[in-house]
Amino acid sequence: MAGKVRGVTEEQARRRLVSSETTLAGLLRHLAVVECKWFRLVVAGGDAEELHLPGRGESWVVPEDATLASLTADYERGCADSRAIAARYSLDDVFDSGEDITVSLRWILVHMIEETARHAGHADILREQTDGSTGDGESG
């Protein structure tokens, strides 16, 4: 996903090209937030207040002081944390999702693949509207 934003400017990353709040920067932030939510909060049992997770629907809002570099670093760090946390558990271990549903690590991993793939597709469209590229060929 990080490769989808390489080569765009700060302004391009924040530009709204669709009627929703979705931007390239917002996609990156949203995915960093959901990585944190599922792995650091749900799986590792972190404290929601200490993790400073935004409220529902607010993960798309990019803070004024955030830069593309900081958003990319947050996302890449979040993915690395998620991999390290997941490695400590079995795929069949279960966790309270905080929404009155118990889910397995397997379910969380599949959900994150779906979530990331969906938003990578959104990023392809936004990137193509921005500069004609899709960011393919870059890792991410």
DSSP 8-state assignment for residue 16: -
Query: Of the candidates 89, 100, 114, 99, which has an alpha carbon nearest to the alpha carbon of residue 39?
Result: 89
Q: Tell me the per-residue pLDDT of 30-82, one tens digit each, with 9 for 90 and over.
A: 999 999 999 999 999 999 889 999 988 899 999 999 999 999 999 999 999 99
The confidence score (pLDDT) of residue 100 equals: 86
Q: What per-residue confidence (pLDDT) applies to 103?
A: 97
CA distance 21 to 4: 18
The pLDDT score that the predictor gives to residue 137 is 60
Mind listing the pLDDT tens digit for each residue in 90-116? 999 999 998 889 999 999 999 999 999
Of residues 136 and 103, more confidently modeled = 103
The three-class DSSP label of residue 104 is strand
- Is 140's pLDDT higher than 60? no
Q: Which residues contact 115 (CB under 8 A, 6 or more apart)?
A: 31, 34
User: Residue 138: pLDDT above 80?
Assistant: no
Work out the angle at residue 32's Cα, subtended by the Cα atoms of residues 41 and 63, and round it to the nearest 5 degrees: 110
124-138 average pLDDT score:
85
Residue 62: how many CB atoms within 10 A of its CB?
22
Range scoring the smallest mean pLDDT among 6-10, 28-32, 48-52, 125-129? 48-52
For 2-131, the fitting CATH number among 1.10.3720.10, 2.40.50.140, 1.20.120.450, 3.40.50.300 is 1.20.120.450
Token duo for residue 21 = 């709040």
